[in-house]
Amino acid sequence: MKAEHPALAEHNSWMIHKLSSKVIFLLVLLCCRSVHAGEDEQTVRRLWANFGLGLLKSSEEQADLSRLLSLSYQHDWHLFTLRYMVASNDLGCEGVGDCKEFKDISLLYGFSSRGQKIHASISIGGGLASIQEGHAIDESFNETEKTFGLALATQVFWRPIKALGIGLYGLGNINPERDLFGGMLSIQLFGNL
């Protein structure tokens, strides 16, 4: 029996990772819908901001430090989110040496649970992705690629008090240049409308 070529094995591993990410995304969607089915019919309107810190990974490279700022509005089980995310190696393109930085600004729509203590959601949308690579000292060598991408997000939060949530924020950006997926620990600051 022939041994699998290392590049093919890495490609297959990445494809399995992408497929499993999509399956998890769909499971969270089903969870949000089933949680919604058991809740009372009182209208839910919330507005919150997420602040997060975590890791983002592409198929080609190691995981990068990522930072997130998002603003979300929920009306019943509908969720609208504006997201800004930056991922970079080390200090990004302001540091010394080689740099790589990925930025994403996206508008997403999704479904959200309506519970007070536990929040789960799943969203999809579109956005502008910017990928910058080069050498931080000599900016003339920096190359920036901008492209539109498919933005993905899922949130699972515990809300111990009325204005604060603590949880996990999963995100992705599928685009022609470089697909990225990651997760982060995040804090929600929110209020009822």
Find the range with the poorest average confidence among 57-61, 124-128, 163-167: 57-61
What's the whole-number mean pLDDT along residues 94-106?
75
Q: What is the pLDDT at residue 68?
A: 94
186 pLDDT band, cuts 50/70/90, is very high
What are the domain boundaries of the chain?
A: 6-192
In terms of Cα–Cα distance, which of 121, 83, 102, 109 is closest to 180?
A: 102
Given this structure, which CATH class describes domain 6-192? mainly beta
185 pLDDT band, cuts 50/70/90, is very high
Q: What would the pLDDT profile of 129-152 be if each residue is shown by its tens digit?
A: 888 877 655 655 566 788 999 999
pTM (two decimals) = 0.73
CB atoms within 10 A of CB 191: 10
CB atoms within 10 A of CB 182: 23
* 174 has a pLDDT exceeding 70: yes
Rounded CA Rg of the chain? 18
| Segment holding 76, helix H or strand E | none
